[in-house]
Copies of this chain bind each other. A is one copy, B any other.
Amino acid sequence: MHLVPILGHMPGSHCTKDIQKNITSAAQPTSSPATTGFTELQPLMAHLDLPSEHMEANDPVQPAGATTLQRAWARFLKGVSYFSGDMAAFGKWMEKQFILLQLLDWVLRGAAQVMFVNNPLSGLIIFAGLILQNYWWALNGFVGTLSATISALILQQNRGAIAAGLYGYNGILVGLLMAVFSSAGDWYWWLLLPNIFMSMMCPVVSSALASINSRWDLPVFTLPFNILVCLHMVATGHYNPYFPQVLIQPRSQMPNITWAEVNVAKLFKSIPVGIGQVYGCDNPWTGGIFIISLFISSPITCVHAVLGSAAGMVSGLALAAPFGDIYFGLWGYNSVLACIAIGGMFYALTWQVHLLAITCAFFCAYLSSAISNIMSRFGLPACTWPFCLSALTFLLLTTGTNRIFKLPLAKVTYPEKNLGFFWKLKKQEKKEKRKAIEDQVTLNDKLQLRIELERMEEGRVASEISDSKNDSAPPAEHQDTAEEVRNNDLTEVTFADYV
């Protein structure tokens, strides 16, 4: 249990998307660290079948025999906890460091937050993947994240949200995609000007959208990025002399699809490429690196990312998309994000939610096709509009079942921890229910005891009566007296029990 003190201090505000509620949520202590810390880690050690309460009780008096293995395991978990999840211990340590180092932490977390991952190590790996793809794009992404984070600081946005990278992820996407869609070629330094301006507008648009979405307890997702990149691209356009954009045109003839030509290897490769396309990268190795960065922080996120990408690829085939688009990952990236968001991030992961996430991935792929067709009329890419719209739709869904549980936005961290929160909540509910039933049962038992006692007494009284041959008292009064006796007895016994 060495890891408990480290994990127990995870600030609730560290990964929350709800900027307004941050302060209040941070103010609510999440019960005692010793009990919560362990429950939170459980999903990461699923093959550890002992119930946590049992373990806690056993821990101090572990039998000497099993100690070595368990200790090694605990040490391993402790090691894992340092760089998995949201790296809260590291975040806490960072708070006391030099501001520039902190800023670096925030930028790295921002880079990873595109995939809902609040982890600087993942962010670092993602930057490595970007550099592998294209130096110039990586630079633009970095400048974008930095500008957005600084702008959020200037506008005095919530510090917890900034530290969690929630103001950076739109910045990195704006920076990257403006570079990706520029047709002026790499190392066109003038591009940094609109890049910085648009990235600095991110916190403004984020804050404005959060004011609206918070009414429904919804996150803003990548809507600011979508709005700002589309804004820049359509404001300049393909025919702009200063900032020309790549030419995107609507399809105007039947694509030639021959199933014999399908390349299965490329189809499989399209799954990591789809994950890479979240950042506009078509290099499968970059996509693979991104998968690793996801796995480090949260295996559930990683699985859903892969499933989402696959669902997108299948949808592409079903809707007769040109194979080139599918290989290029254009059908995958929105489904990746939608599947992550629904599958464990904003809903607590159950089987029903898992199915819902996959349905959402398919719906998102459909929507992706529709939106890219519409946007192409304006020379625009689909960006991540399909993801935002489909995920928001599925998050607005209200159902009668308690197996689809939407987490309050202030409690959202990462799937494993969310699940822990959900389980704790359910256990509490169950305990309360069981207690209520037990109370009921105890009461019933007592009542039965009372009735039996009364019957015996009545028998005694009756025999006394029959003995004394005294028939003057009416039966009604007698019954009243008996009842009074019973009540008094009950009160006494109950009182005794409580004492």
**Chain A residues near B (Cβ < 8 Å):** 19-20, 155-158, 197, 201, 204-205, 207-212, 215-216, 230-232, 234-237, 239-243, 251-255, 257, 318-320, 362-363, 366-367, 369-370, 373-374, 377-378, 392-401
Are A207 and B396 neighbours in the complex by a CB distance under 8 Å? Answer: yes
Determine if A254 and B234 form an interchain contact, defined as CB atoms under 8 angstroms apart: no
Q: Is A239 a contact partner of B254 (Cβ separation < 8 A)?
A: yes
Q: Are B235 and A251 in contact, with the CB atoms below 8 A? A: no
Number of copies: 3
Chain B proximity of A31: nearest CB distance (Å): 29
Min C-beta distance of A454 to chain B, whole Å: 38
Listed by A's residue number, 25 A-B pairs whose Cβ atoms lie within 8 Å are: A20-B398, A155-B397, A156-B399, A156-B401, A158-B400, A197-B366, A204-B394, A207-B398, A209-B396, A212-B396, A231-B366, A232-B370, A234-B369, A235-B367, A235-B369, A235-B373, A237-B373, A239-B252, A239-B255, A241-B254, A241-B255, A241-B257, A374-B378, A377-B377, A377-B378
Q: Which of B208, B230, B370, B394 contacts A208 (CB 8 A)?
A: B394
Q: Which residues from chain B contact A231 at a C-beta distance below 8 Å?
A: 366-367, 370
- Are B234 and A373 in contact (CB-based, < 8 A)? yes
Which of B19, B373, B392 sits near A378, CB closer than 8 Å? B373
Q: Report the 10 A-B pairs with minimum CB-CB distance, sorted nearest first.
A: A156-B400, A208-B396, A235-B370, A235-B369, A211-B396, A234-B370, A208-B393, A242-B320, A239-B254, A156-B401
Q: With a CB–CB cut-off of 8 A, which chain B residues contact A157?
A: 399-400
In whole angstroms, how far apart are the Cα atoms of A231 and B401 in the complex? 28
Q: Closest Cβ of chain B: how far from A338's Cβ, in Å?
A: 13
Query: Inside 8 A of A319's CB, which chain B residues have their CB?
Result: 235-236, 240, 242-243
* A230 / chain B contacts, CB cutoff of 8 Å: 370
Minimal beta-carbon separation of A461 from chain B (angstroms): 46
Cα distance, A253 to B158, chains bound together (Å): 45
Closest to A200 in B: B359
Bound complex: CA A201 to CA B231 (Å): 31
The complex places the Cα of A363 from the Cα of B234 at a distance, in Å, of: 14
A156-B401, A207-B399 are known contacts; what are 12 more A-B pairs with Cβ within 8 Å? A156-B400, A201-B363, A204-B394, A208-B393, A208-B394, A232-B370, A235-B319, A235-B373, A236-B319, A236-B320, A241-B254, A242-B318
Measured in the bound complex, the distance between the Cα atoms of B397 and A197 in whole Å is 17
Chain B residues within 8 Å of A393, by CB: 204-205, 208
Q: Which residues of B contact A254 (CB under 8 A)?
A: 239, 241
Q: Of the candidates B158, B208, B237, B363, which one forms a contact with A397 in the assembled complex, judged by CB atoms under 8 Å apart? A: B208
Residue of B nearest to A401 (CB): B156
